[in-house]
Amino acid sequence: MALVNAFWTLVLLAAPAAGGAAETQLDFDTDVLPLLTKAGCNAAACHGAAAGRGGFKLSLFGADPASDYAEITFALEGRRLDRRHAADSLLLAKPTLQLDHEGGQRLEEETPPVQTILRWIEQGAPRLARRVTALHVLPESTTVDTLPARLALRATADITPATSSPANSGTSDSAHQTRDVTATAVYTPVDPSAIEIDEAGHVTVLRPGRHTIVVRYQGLVQTAHITAPLPRPDAASPKPASPDLADSQVTAPATPLDPLVRENLRSLHLAEAPSADDLTLLRRATLDLTGRLPTPDEVREYLASDAPDRYEQTVERLLQSEAFNDFWTYRFSKLFRIKAPPREPQVAEAFHGWLREQIAQDQGFDQIARQMLLGSGDTHHNGPANFYRMAGDPLAQTEYFSEVFMAVRLRCANCHNHPLDHWTQDDYHGLAAVFAIVEKGREIRFTNRSEIIHPATGEPARLRIPGERYLAPADHAHDHALKNANPQAPLEQLSAWLVAPDNPYFARAQVNRLWQAMMGRGLVEPTDDLRSTNAPSSPELLDALAQDFVEHGYRLRPLLKQIALSQTYRRAVRNAGDHDSDAMLAELEARFFAVASPRPLEAEVLADAIVDVTGVPQAYGDGPEGTRAIQLVDPSQPSETLDILGRCDRESGCEPTAGTEGGGLSARLHLINGPLINDRLRDASGHLGRSLAEGESTEAIVRAFYLRALSRPPRENEMHFWLGQIHQAPDRSAALEDFVWSLLNCNEFRTNH
Amino acid sequence: MSRRRRVRSSLRRCDGVSRREFVRVGGLTALGLSLSHLSAPGWSAEATRDTRADDGSSASFGRAKRCVLIWLDGGPSHLETFDLKPDAAKEVRGPFQPIPTRLVGEHICELMPRTAENMRDVAVIRSMTSPLGEHNFGAHYLLTGYKPTPAVEYPSYGAVMAHLRGEAGQPDTALPPHVAVPRFRVGGGKMSGAGFLGPAYRPFSVGGDPAKRDFQVRDLDFFPGMNAGRLDRRRRFVQALEQFQADVENPQPNNPITDRVNTGDPEFEQAYRLLTSPEAKRAFALEEEDADTRRRYGTRTIGQSCLLARRLLERGVPFVTVNNPGWDTHENAYTRLKEGYTGAKVPVGLVPSLDLAFNALIDDLRERGMLDETLIVVMGEFGRTPKLNTRGGRDHWPRVFSVAVAGAGIEGQIIGQSDAVAEGPSERPITPSDLAATLYHLLGVRADARLYTPDGRPIEINRDGELIRELT
């Protein structure tokens, strides 16, 4: 308690305005409600719950002052306020524990918040409806030096007086003002282990990195960013990448992306890794762009080429390949969660087939989205219309749309305004109302019949572009007029807004995903959670990528090419030997792209790679022989192997979060002891079986499998080891099986590095 | 009545910043948090103290040596299991009647006669409450004690127990420390279960259905033509490849391959140990159990899964998740909860099957003298709506629901209450975080002990949870 009092004393000293002696007229919205928010009264677990608590219901974090005011002043026959004995008001007696309160003590008597509320009740508990129009936090962005570092945040709010109305004429409403709200704003660090912050906005920075603090005040959200660099690196030069094979390495010229990444690294004192060796890059780019390993011929050709731009040529070749089309169709099928309803395989086939055409012709993503949003007719034939078959009712469609095209988790706003973003229930249900015009079935039709009831008002929700505007002016009747004129009109407006170059979500969402696909980690993580309070590791880079994407007509290939040719993409992975020493440094290097992040091959890619290395195809259901796992149209195509390896079932989003992939012990047992690899090693028609039948030398076999599995020739000591092992084994073919088996079970094979 | 009555007995926190956190913020350095502290990943036993009630000294601390979690995936209806409202309107009380239990005056659902008989050993919390009514979110909260955030995926109970056992040294069994039967697919399948502890702490899913005659664990028996000797050679080969790679990345002169005792890959090593231990593999041989025992647990998957769980516990596995899907009963609740299929003569629905399995496990463990050291938890991600919907089901309802715990010396009792229509807690609200604090306490894990994320962020085992004193 002493601490609490000390805190408020400090606040008083720091912000005399808040306790000013002049009898200013206090207002519910701007003086009282923020105090209740700060005390936690309207948190989700307390009275902010959808059903309230203990018969007292407030809007979550004070999002709806009008209803909160009514709840406090009128509900319960007005018993929550005692205007004659203000101190006996339930509103104060409960949180100060003068009366039993399930939520415990939230406010301390004799402190400024209680005094403010008291004075407000004494003044007649008015609601002047002053509005908070803006929230500012200083410093918005800052860099600190040695850790732990301390600094203080200051929050101010712009408050606009209520437009004068007869109700409050006679009271002197203060003019438009900027008020210090440092004491009443609510502070939440995104990473509490890096940032500690007290109620008065005093920050202690504990860890290096780039940190975000979310500041809330009366429905508005702002963020403060703090950069805490590592101690300056010592002069020791970074270790070189793999010493052999690096001789032909040419330092790649910087692309426009590289300075943006480098700027970040400098500000954090992070050293960048050198470029990976050429064959590692060949393997990495082939896996990232086509989802398969380079063939032994491709490896040999690459080694034989002395063209200075052989990497650039390879990237170009990969971008134009059929394998690229297959792989990116697979990637986008996962994004769009393509899956057939029971007994309607045509749905997935039509959608998948159409998508592959779009990718093959490098259709702009804006056009892809537009066609999907406006797709109608027979879904067994018109691929994009299946956008509407992938989600159920209009609410599900709303969430699917926002996640896929905006990378926004709008679902929170179904039941309440999003507490960490600006999304409201109006946005959610207004968008759902747009999708309500879609009549679903095998035929997709647009009708004007359906509507969505807004749960807060009980009235039909008005058509709305989320975060933006209502489609029709004034009222619901205009919505009808709009739909009657052209049922499709709302969808046309929505798609025009979505793919407009200045849309803040669409391009960013996609480039963040493309970056993540290439680099193993998004600029924003998770990649389906873009919001102001989830800051990108480099906002400038995200903006630059988005702008580039728009300028190149939202096409995949130019952006992927730009990334693949960057110095950032070409960096080596962190040396394994360094990993144990400093995990925090490793994480920062990966997060800010100072090094390449190795990642496990995803289920389908791994299964295909095993098929390629062994030369024995895998049958998937009744699909044609030689079908690759990434070509499967529907994840419900039975495959125990893919299930164990951890394929995405596309029931909900498939977006990986950095660091949580990997199949666990079951997947490992399967690779070690299951049929996937073991059956293939003994198959006479496979690469090993044929090499043995043709009497190839051990050396040739070892070399060939190194090229197939690791995309590089064996080093001298490796070859020496294998020749010795296989020579001394009593059963040569068994020893060679074991050799190939070990290649397929080693870390170098199972990761993209 | 005096309105100046002061009630200071319980400083229950809601959400928001608690007073305890407030104290922490001010006293940062006093807590011994320093950067040097943060670089070591893993477990810190010398964790710092704060004002939490649990100092690990009470007799119940660590009473459970092992745990079975019977996870009712989808969200079991509290109104059709442990919290019936016979006096409420028809659409609230639903189709089933309450029956008396061994606890005087306490009733549970008529579909659970064996549980009623065992209630002296079962504690039911009727006032669980959470704000999260979506499967993924709810499952994350219940299985970790933390609400989900985009910043970090928290580890589930099983992963924490597995991690702690790994820290304690080489276990005396080759069995994985967290086994999921038949598989760990909870809350829609987005949770790995391991959280930030990483893939090595994922639960091991046995894969097969223990209720099937030909049940076996996938990929556990040697592949035809394989034997221990050959697997050993393969392991040496992988070890050599890992060594070659390490040498390239971190050149050391004359680094002989034989220096390495294993592949350096914990997951590979774990798989290897399991494959080469006949004793460990026997744990999965349900056919060793006599017919009576098998029948006692019920023929359904949940029953045979519980039986397999008992075999695993006996052999030193500290945590088994029996995952029972199907509790998301938005429609046809009567058939799904009671009969199992329309017109069943003997009901084999979700609730009777749970009743059989749960109580067979209690009885069996008691007979074997293991019950007092084994914690059994029965829960799902939330409850169901107080009113039946038009499709004869109930929808998601997290504001109040029930959780049952048994074993570990817990006395049979009812903790907390819901209101007249089971819509909210009317007495003693308990959060999943409180439950986590309590379960960890019983399992001998201090709530303020810390785990470290891969990048070294310290995370307390539990934050904000208060011990449920009736259970400790």
pLDDT tens digits, B304-327: 999 999 999 999 999 999 999 999
> B2: number of CA atoms within 13 Å, CB side?
5
The b/e string for B213-252 (b: 16+ C-beta within 10 A; e otherwise) is eebbbbbbebbeebeeebbebbbbbbbbbbbbbbbbbeee
Residue B437 has pLDDT above 90, yes or no: yes
Q: Given an 8 Å threshold on Cβ–Cβ distance, is A102 in contact with B429?
A: yes
Query: Using CB atoms and an 8 Å cut-off, which of residues 134-163 of chain B contact chain A?
Result: 134, 136, 150-151, 153
Min Cα–Cα distance to chain B from A481, Å: 33
Residue B35: its chain A contacts at CB < 8 A?
A: 147-148, 206-207
DSSP B344: -
CB B64 within 8 A of CB B472: no
State the pLDDT at residue A174. Answer: 52
Amino acid B1: pLDDT: 38
Tokens of B143: 């299985």
B248 touches chain A (CB under 8 A): yes
Judge: A742–B39 Cβ closer than 8 Å, yes or no.
no
Q: Tell me if B13 and A104 make a contact (CB, 8 A cut-off).
A: yes
Cβ contacts (< 8 Å) between A39 and chain B: which residues?
A: 16
| Of the candidates B76, B62, B65, B116, the residue with the CA atom closest to the CA atom of residue B403 | B76
Instruction: Note whether B423 contacts A: Cβ–Cβ < 8 A.
Output: yes
Following CA atoms A536, A538, A539, A545 in sequence, which dihedral angle do they give, to the nearest 10 degrees? -110
Give the sheet arrangement for strand B374-379, strand by strand: B204-205, B178-181, B319-324, B66-72, B374-379, B401-407, B122-128, B413-415
Residue type for position B165: R
Q: Which residues of A touch B267 (CB under 8 A)?
A: 664-665, 668
End-to-end CA distance of chain B: 36
Which one, of A386, A371, A496, lies nearest residue A444 by Cα? A386
Which stretches does DSSP call E strand in A402-441? 438-439
CA A177 to chain centre: 37
- Using a 10 angstrom Cβ sphere, with 0-12 exposed, 13-18 middle and 19 or more buried, the burial of residue A252 is middle
- The per-residue pLDDT for B144 is 96
What confidence score (pLDDT) does residue B263 get? 73
Asked if B151's CB is within 8 angstroms of A190's CB, the reply is: yes
- Kind of pairing between the strands at B122-128 and B413-415: parallel
Mean pLDDT of B257-284: 80
Q: How far is B250 from chain A (nearest CA, A)?
A: 6
CA distances from residue A724 to A703, B113, B274 in whole angstroms, order as listed: 14, 68, 29
* B227 pLDDT above the threshold of 80: yes
- In this prediction, residues B266-293 reach a mean pLDDT of 91
Mark yes or no for CB contact A741/B237 under 8 Å: yes
- Quick check: B345 contacting A, CB < 8 Å? no
> Which residues on chain B are in Cβ contact (under 8 Å) with A587?
454-456
The identity of residue B14, as a single letter, is C
Q: Which residues of chain A have pLDDT under 50?
A: 1-21, 165-172, 235-250, 579-580, 658-662
Give me the pLDDT at residue B57, please. 65
Structure tokens at A423: 């999304």
Contact B399 A49 (CB under 8 A): yes
CA dihedral A45, A46, A48, A51 (to 10 degrees): 90
**Which of A665, A715, A739 lies at the smallest CB-CB distance from B267?**
A665
Kindly report, residue by residue over B16-59, the tens digit of the pLDDT. 333 333 222 222 222 222 222 332 333 333 333 333 445 566 78
Residue B123 has pLDDT above 50, yes or no: yes
The structure tokens 């005399």 sit at A16
Decide if B234 and A4 are in contact by the 8 Å CB cutoff: no
Closest listed residue to residue A304, CA positions, set A707, A717, A748, A709: A707
Q: For residue B86, what pLDDT is reported? A: 96
The 3-state DSSP class for residue B384 equals strand
The partner residue sitting opposite A44, judged by closest CB among B15, B33, B219, is B15
Cβ contacts of B230 on chain A, cutoff 8 Å = 734, 738
CB-CB neighbors (< 8 A) of B423 in chain A: 51
For residues B250-259, give the mean pLDDT: 52
Which pLDDT score, from 0 to 100, does residue B76 have?
Answer: 98
Q: Which of A534, A649, A738 sits opposite B233 (nearest CB)?
A: A738
All residues of chain A having their beta carbon less than 8 Å from the beta carbon of residue B194 are 660, 664
Please give the model's pTM, rounded to 2 decimal places: 0.80
- Cβ of B25 within 8 Å of Cβ of A196? The answer is yes
B98 CB neighbour count, 10 Å cutoff? 16
Q: Give percent of chain B with pLDDT exceeding 90.
A: 60
Contact: A662, B13; criterion CB under 8 Å: no
Residue B14 predicted with pLDDT over 50: no
Determine whether the interchain pair B5/A739 forms a contact, defined as Cβ–Cβ distance below 8 Å.
no
pLDDT at B257 over 70: no
pLDDT of A188: 87
pLDDT of residue A479: 78
Average pLDDT, chain B: 84
Question: CA-CA distances (angstroms) from residue A10 to A16, A19, A198, A339?
Answer: 10, 12, 12, 59
Pairing state between β B374-379 and B401-407 = antiparallel
Residues of chain A with C-beta less than 8 angstroms from the C-beta of B204? 664-666
> What local confidence, expressed as pLDDT, does residue A65 receive?
86
Predicted interface score ipTM higher than 0.85: no
Check whether the bond before B182 is cis (ω within 30° of 0): yes
B39 vs A715: CB contact, 8 Å cut-off? no
Q: Chain B 75-94, CB below 8 Å of chain A: which residues?
A: none
| pLDDT at residue A18 in the model | 43
Task: Tell the residue number behind the tokens 């690459």, with chain if given.
Answer: A302
The DSSP code for B370 is -
CB < 8 Å to A715, chain B:
244, 248
Task: Report the C-alpha gap between A6 and A3 in whole angstroms.
Answer: 5
Per-residue pLDDT at B3: 39
